[in-house]
Amino acid sequence: MSAVSRRARLADVVGGVRLARRLGAHDDAGRATLEAWQRARLAELRAFARARSPFYADRDLGHTLDKATVMEHYDDVLTDRRLSLATLEAHVDALRGDELLHGEYRVMCTGGTTGRRAVVPLGGAEWRAAMSGFFRWKAVAGRRPRPRQRIAVVLAPSPQHMSWRYARTVDVGLMKLLQLDATQPPEQLVARLNAFGPEELSGYPSILAVLAREQLEGRLRIAPEFVATTSEVRTPDMERVVEQAWGVRPFDMYAITEAGILATECPAHEGLHVFEDHTLVEVLGADGTPVDDGEVGRLVITPLYARTLPLLRYEMGDLVRATRAPCACGRPYVRLLEIQGRQDDVLELPAACGGTILIHPIVMRSPMASIPELAEYQLVHGAGGLRVRIALRRGGQADAAARHVRERLAAALADAGAEVPAVGVEVVDALERSPMGKHRLVVQA
């Protein structure tokens, strides 16, 4: 395995910036021009996949594709015959830094929240396309890079994950970058951030909410002028506490390993603009047809630049609301108005009137946000009912917090028409995070 030199990373940065500028021309080009671009790129991708991937050779491209199917047929989906799932998994498990497979491929994996991780190889051109999303995100948010700018990121701790590789690639000496491990205890993060004094702060919304409370309580003392969240559902209470702590409204950004940075907010904060010239998106209902504008549906993506592992009409498993209505900024892209969470986080509970009822996590998130004693929480649903793990804010009373959790969850579920299950509450010092530092609000046990 060869590590990527600073010179090679600088070439990736330059290539990403150039592509970002070319694609950024669609910001002002109008919907018709954008859709013509999409059709041409999609035709190229389909032809490539048909010719190079045994899986797509005779597949009906009108069908959607889920992660389980990709993993079952992985070696046939790949278009480089030198690669295999076994080879890629062995490489990613041995990573210690920004090494390349065959001197060409960055190999990363997803967090595995659906039960099995997916492995994603990106060649040089694919990585530069992914990097273009990074630079477009900053441009849409109105951020211009400055020499020696101090930027802190609190994300995945491992080179197996895309956020780590993004940070490593852009760390070519043009800015001061502090890369922090989201799995570290808050007191360690506080100490390092206080010493660094970031001008920009990015990370998972759950950990930034914890740090915001550290700021409000006087232990963290930083003054970032720009804050961004990514890679988890950001609840309204997380957004509020970040704004209270630092006096800036955080920008949200949606990034996935399979497609890179997919969407970001503009300064109007009226939803996340999807980079549709990079990744096609569809929002589908239970019957597989597009939902009406603004309605909740399943997110399906087609990364237009993916060649090594083509993903045509790939089911993300996320539930979103989207709109084509114009944004105040004038960009022509579909906007994600809300990212509600994973489809497998929806609970099926007995209904009060008989039968069953589907309860979306948002029904449970809202009452939990109103409990002042809570620093973090996680809802775990299993055969024994609903169990809630809670971590308290400093000075929070465990008995009062547990009582509020039981009362407010019971009321919310009853209002939604569910037969209220047994609700157990477990007070913990801190909630465990996944190996990549993420925190899920709802877990099916």
- Residues 1-25 have pLDDT tens digits of 567 898 999 999 999 999 999 999 9
Give, in order, the Cα–Cα distances in Å from 174 to each of 145, 147, 151, 178, 195.
9, 6, 11, 13, 20
- Which residues, 6+ apart, have CB-to-CB distance to 91 below 8 Å? 1, 99, 101, 107
Give me the mean pLDDT over the 410-436 stretch. 82
Whole-number Å distance between alpha carbons of 320 and 334 = 12
pLDDT band at 431; cut points 50, 70, 90: confident
User: Which has more pLDDT, 415 or 107?
Assistant: 107
Q: pLDDT band at 434, cuts 50/70/90?
A: low
Integer CA distances (angstroms), 248 to 212, 228, 242, 258, 390, in order: 12, 10, 8, 30, 28
Domains plus CATH for the chain? Answer: 2-149+156-162+253-339 (3.40.50.12780), 346-444 (3.30.300.30)
Question: What pTM, to 2 d.p., does this model score?
Answer: 0.84
Task: Kindly tell me if the per-residue pLDDT of 113 is higher than 50.
Answer: no
Pick the more confident residue, 256 or 438.
256
Q: How many C-beta atoms surround the C-beta of residue 56 within 10 A? A: 22
The pLDDT of residue 270 is above 90: yes
Q: What is the pLDDT of residues 153-191, one digit of tens each?
A: 998 788 988 989 999 999 888 889 999 988 888 899 999
Quick one: average pLDDT of 81-105?
Answer: 94
- Encoded tokens for 405: 């959790």
pLDDT at 401: 87
User: Reduced to 3 states, what is the DSSP secondary structure of residue 167?
Assistant: helix
Give the chain's mean pLDDT.
Answer: 90
pLDDT tens per residue, range 27-44: 999 999 999 999 999 999
Q: Give per-residue burial for 163-194: e unless 16+ CB within 10 Å, then b.
A: bbbbbbbbbbeebbbbbbbbbbebeebbeebe
